[in-house]
Chains A and B, each alone.
Chain A
Amino acid sequence: MLLKRITEAAGVAGDEYEVRAVIRDELAGYSLKMKTDMLGNLIVSQNEEKPGPRIMLAAHMDEIGLMIVQIDNTGLLYFKAVGGIDPRVLVAKVVRVGKKKLPGVIGAKAIHLQRPEERLVPIPLESLYIDIGAKNKEDAEKVVSIGDYAVFDTEYETFGDGFAKGKSFDDRVGCAVLAEVMKETYHAPVYGVFTVSEEIGLRGAGVAAYAIDPQVAISLEGTTAHDVTDVEDHLVSTRCGAGPSLTFMDNSVISDRKLIQLAAKTAETLGIPYQYKNTATGGNDSGKMNQTRAGVPTIEIAVPTRYCHSPISVIHLEDYNNTIQLVKALIHAIETGGFEIK
């Protein structure tokens, strides 16, 4: 099960090798060219030498996580956040530290010991630590080094009415969509790029796009869904189960209007539901692809994902499957002249 393997792999920004291995393995049986570039982007392609619009797709392999920056005398590990983490979600979580995946817990003072005023404010990130059960600093240093990463320890599982929960659907669900999309045969040169370091500044996508020099680009994401509480309608970003989300704009990019229209029309033809993301915050790999060389028209297509950037996220599997169908059909529409290349 790809979604299970890919979300349970560890891959904080800068350390995406496990995810890369899962994808290489998943696509090994297909006639695809695969290479890893200098920054660690995995570039999967077909029809490189053939005519037709060069189409680039990007999904980022990296997830938010923690990096160990200090080990104290009692053997506790202090850390920094890699990517945007809400410190309020960290307390009492189980994490896996380093390549050996040592279990650790993010500790905090038990409620019995807290003063009344301490109970009112979230504990700042600087005061949190990972307890790996070490006797002391020396003991801890035998198994952990400064610079090691830690990830949340979350199992993938389906539940409820077609939902799945797991770690880092942002953006492993995009990676899984892209892997499935690359199994299809196209006529045009299609480059599926599994990018690195998106969470810390869209870093992988820019250099990959420079190398590929695409004429049109699609980024595949797990994007924020906020359809669960008493949020006002106009502030709900996307809704789980309502289909793939098309993004008009966010802080990093304005999607090409004709590509949005083509994607919407393609979904309608397939009889797939779709939705427009109705908030414009955050950024995605399109932001860098759009600004590469002399400019590239882009679109972001995303699977709505609840609780992004926390230890656990939730998607609806129907959205996942519909996104795969939509993206495949959109590539076929582009390669058969559905989008004018300038």
Chain B
Amino acid sequence: MMELKTLTKKIVTAYGPTGLETNVAHIIMDEIKPFVDSVRIDALGNVIAVKNGTGPKVMLAAHMDEIGIMVTHIDENGFLRFTNLGGLNPYVLLGTRCIFGNGTRGVYGAEKLEVGESLTLAKMYVDIGATSRAEAMEKVQIGDCAGADYECIDLGKRMVSKAMDDRIACVVLIETIKQLKNPAAECHFVFTVQEEVGLRGARTSAYAVDPDYGIAIDVTRTGDTPKGITMEVSLGKGPTVKVRDSSVLCHPAMIQYMKDVANKEGIPYQMEVLEAGGTDSGAIHLTKSGVPSGVMSIACRYIHTPSEMVDMDDVANGIKLMIALLQNTFPKV
């Protein structure tokens, strides 16, 4: 478990807002290179790694990008205005910190609001401690991007960090690649880009891979917090087998296959019905003439905040389930 936690810290704390995933891509490639038959980066920045096998072609996808901001304007006093990369709640951002690719750090502030006025991103700015436009521009340019600047903490069974969405799934895929021996399937592991703005990397990489089956791995919401949403997913009860979200109705044969393999191997799992949000399978299953697709999720609290929480037993069991899926025989559909 210590090793898994060390790898998790390394992957989730890496800098990689949507559109700027290169840094994460190289860290992942260094981890997996000795364990795959080939690996490449495509035109949009997706990492595509292949482990040869004699069976059908399976695409596994986890997205590398994290939510963040892009600088659109720098004012005369050195404050940065920004637009969002993925879904950001202004109230969650206020007072938190962000970090740019070159290590420049800043804090999110907001204009004074009138009574009853709602906070919007257009009324917010990043303060990097500069006192003029010129000073700010020594560190940050228009178009530069930042992600949350938070350390990863270990609470024992559970870990908390920014970018658990979806680096924890990258961790699951990396470990799957390292531990998987003699896969039945021809495995195409794709670490995708730009999921948070519309599943964009998954769409193009699925076209290139042209898989027989697709499985995305992502985080999902939970219903296990005080007066939280109504949802039958909890931390610590195993990886989920998704039935649906806003982007995909998982193929019944894939749902059944995932359940059957988990039952056979004695791996705990929970059924997931997500009422909002999408995953890379939303793009994969619509590729070319259609791809039967499923999703395995890791339960995660406080998604799209700088403190996303997962249970490491779920991660370990997710890895077990993923390996088992690739060593068994995918169903005829």
Contacts and interface: CB of A to CB of B under 8 A. Distances in A.
B42 A280 contact: no
A342 interface: yes
A257 B142 contact: no
B275 interface: no
Given A248-B143, A249-B19, A295 B205 contact: yes
Contact of A294 (B70, B83, B85, B208): B208
B73 interface: yes
B204 A342 contact: no
Contacts of B204: 291-295
B41 interface: yes
A233 B44 contact: no
Given A233-B73, A257-B19, A297 B81 contact: no
Interface string A78-92: 000000000000000
B297 interface: no
Given A294-B43, A294-B205, A295-B43, A254 B75 contact: no
B194 interface: yes
A296 interface: yes
B18 interface: yes
Shortest 5 CB-CB distances between A and B: which pairs? A295-B204, A234-B81, A294-B208, A234-B73, A295-B44
B124 to A, nearest CB: 10
A235 to B, nearest CB: 6
Nearest to A276: B142
Contacts of B107: none
Interface string A297-315: 1000000000000000000
A204 B200 CA distance: 19
B75 A234 contact: yes
B200 A278 contact: no
A16 to B, nearest CB: 27
B70 A290 contact: no
Contacts of B203: 291, 295
A260 interface: yes
A234 B142 CA distance: 11
A47 interface: no
Given A234-B81, A278-B142, A294 B207 contact: yes
Nearest to B19: A254
A180 B86 CA distance: 37
Interface in A19-66: none
Q: What's the dominant secondary structure at chain B's contact region?
A: mixed
A279 B143 contact: no
A292 B207 CA distance: 9
A115 B246 CA distance: 46
Nearest to B80: A234
Nearest to A264: B143
A117 B124 CA distance: 37
Contacts of A296: 43
A278 B73 contact: yes
A215 B208 CA distance: 14
A293 B43 CA distance: 11
B311 to A, nearest CB: 33
Most A C-beta atoms less than 10 A away, residue of B83, B201, B207: B83
A222 B188 CA distance: 41
B43 A297 contact: yes
B44 A234 contact: no
Interface string A250-278: 00001001001000000000000000101
Interface string B40-63: 011110100000000000000000
9 contacts: A235-B122, A249-B19, A254-B19, A257-B19, A257-B143, A278-B142, A279-B72, A290-B200, A295-B42
Given A249-B19, A342-B41, A291 B142 contact: no
B197 interface: yes
Contact of B42 (A249, A290, A292, A342): A342
Contacts of A297: 43-44
Given A249-B19, A276-B142, A293-B207, A342 B43 contact: yes
Contact of A280 (B20, B43, B83, B208): B83
A291 B197 CA distance: 12
Most B C-beta atoms less than 10 A away, residue of A249, A257, A295, A342: A295
Nearest to B18: A254
B111 to A, nearest CB: 10
A248 B70 contact: yes
